[in-house]
Amino acid sequence: MYPPYVRSALRLLFPILFVLAWAPTLTPLHRLYGFGARTTIVGLAEGALLIVAAAAIVAAGRRRRSRSLAAFSVAVIGTTLAGWLALTVLTALVEPSRDRSEAARRASVPSASEPSSPASRRVLFIGVDGMDWNALDRLIANHSLPFLARLLSEARTYQVDNHGLGLSPAIWARVYTGAPEPFQGFTNWRLRGTDRQIAVLPQWRHRPIFMLDRVLTAGARIHLWDVTSPSNVDFVHPPLWRVASAAGARVGVFDPLPFDVVGERVNGFFAWQSDEGFRIAASNSSGRQAIEQIHDNTFAESLDSVIGGESIRAGVAARAFARERPDIGIYYTHVLDAVGHMIWEPGAMEDVAEARAERTRPLTEGRIAAAYKAVDSAVQSLAARFGEPATIVLVSDHGWEFSAYAHRTAPFGVAAIAGSGPKGFGGAIGIESVAATVLALAQVPVPSTMAAPLRDVVPRWTTCTGCAVPPVTFISSPGDDVERRNRLRSLGYVTK
């Protein structure tokens, strides 16, 4: 038996909870302003369903003026489930497909029947955040990407299945370690005085429900818990550069992650972005370490400066590859993802009018095309300075929808392996297979903790059950990169 004011409070609480739970998950609803008519119609339909479901909950409460809270609860649960099902079906019907198979097929040439030469033991791994097969297909057809067109035509190509992960930290962590890692987004929340993280779960459509991210951010402001940035210090499993370095291979790693990068001591060189520019820690044959400081600032908030900064980053990396001659080279770039967000996220840059103007331009003529051309030049420069013979592994974490969806549908990413022998389209692969494939191509034993390499590229490899990877030595501190923090904040990834 409940007093009337309790029932009144519950009648008010249930529809509010329903709205809070599902409003953040409606992909177009919170992005109506500045986009096309189709997105607006979808958003209005989703909003109408949301209001109808909330109103039905209120009506159920008013009809149940008896003292039976159980009957009222059954009506509320039924209405909530019906509203959830309707919203889910509507979103599934209108969302773009994650599949990119047709575009991936057109970029590659089927394998010839004659046997191919063995792959080189030197491997250049290039990670491009946000590269999309559909964009590559259109730009290659427009003759805008000469080097990538030639590279892909000689490569074994795949779609990268990111398992629906919508944020880059979780995807790239798996790419490098070949195993699930405790990375969620660009921010960690830890209980004060402990090392225990607060899990931002459950999630739906890559967003925490009940606005948990905002609640946690607000709690951090009043010091209920600590806010930290993820970094390579947080890896549970060793990334491929540590495995290769421990096995005696010489590695060259250039700023490999979209979040904070802490300098590491490796057999070769390790470069990371700092406030002053780039730091490159290189070791020689005697084991002595030297840290080179290159003053530069490639992170900026305008479209043109972000695109122009790619040649600077690639130039620094290419010189380091040419000088150190590593067996495995690793390079990561954020330029495509950053430009995509700056154009398709109205709040991500100061000049919103410029972003809206870019959305109306054809893909082959605007800043998206300019960013892809910058990547084309960067990959060509990196490949030339890395030197031949070498196998080139090109991977992206997710694709892009050049619309309000951005990469919230987690479209399949890009993978291409050139110089290993096989050509043609190989279907979809899991993101966990990348690390082991790079190690196997370089003939480095693959730890048993990693997913297996791609058999069509590396039919035989050595597995190491008890791989001895010594504790890593870090040579910088996390969280000292203000420029990277400002970039993530401008893209809406962090709020602190």
Question: Is residue 313 domain-shared with residue 423, that is, in the same domain?
Answer: yes
Q: What is the pLDDT of residue 208?
A: 44
Q: What is the pLDDT of residue 96?
A: 82
Q: What is the pLDDT of residue 285?
A: 55
Contact (Cβ atoms closer than 8 angstroms) between residue 303 and residue 358: yes
Structure tokens that stand for 167 in this block: 């944020």
How many domains does the structure of the chain reveal? 3
Question: Is residue 65 domain-shared with residue 157, that is, in the same domain?
Answer: no
Length of the chain: 496
Nearest to 104 by CA among 476, 416, 368: 416
Residue whose pair of structure tokens reads 């990375």 in the numeric block: 183
Question: Is residue 351 domain-shared with residue 448, that is, in the same domain?
Answer: yes
Contact (Cβ atoms closer than 8 angstroms) between residue 94 and residue 138: no
Range of the domain at 281: 101-183+231-490
Question: Is residue 80 domain-shared with residue 164, that is, in the same domain?
Answer: no
10-residue stretch averages of pLDDT, the chain, 496 residues long: 62 62 50 48 65 68 57 66 65 79 88 54 96 97 96 95 87 95 80 70 46 68 79 93 95 93 94 86 73 74 88 95 96 94 69 82 94 98 94 96 83 94 92 97 94 93 83 78 61 58
Q: What is the pLDDT of residue 392?
A: 97
* Angle at alpha carbon of residue 245, lines to 241 and 246, rounded to 5°: 120
Query: Is residue 245 within a helix (H) or strand (E), and if so which, with residue range?
Result: helix 240-246
Question: Is residue 344 domain-shared with residue 279, that is, in the same domain?
Answer: yes
Q: What is the pLDDT of residue 470?
A: 84
Question: Is residue 486 domain-shared with residue 436, that is, in the same domain?
Answer: yes
Q: What is the pLDDT of residue 339?
A: 92
Q: Which residues contact 386 (CB under 8 A, 6 or more apart)?
A: 122, 124, 318, 321, 322, 329
Q: What is the pLDDT of residue 33?
A: 40
Question: Is residue 195 domain-shared with residue 335, that is, in the same domain?
Answer: no
Q: What is the pLDDT of residue 485?
A: 63
Torsion of CA 304, 310, 316, 320, to 10 degrees: 180
Question: Is residue 16 domain-shared with residue 118, that is, in the same domain?
Answer: no
The rounded Cα 165 to chain-centroid distance in angstroms is: 8
Is residue 495, in this structure, part of any structural domain at all?
no
The model carries a pTM of 0.84
Q: What is the pLDDT of residue 493?
A: 61
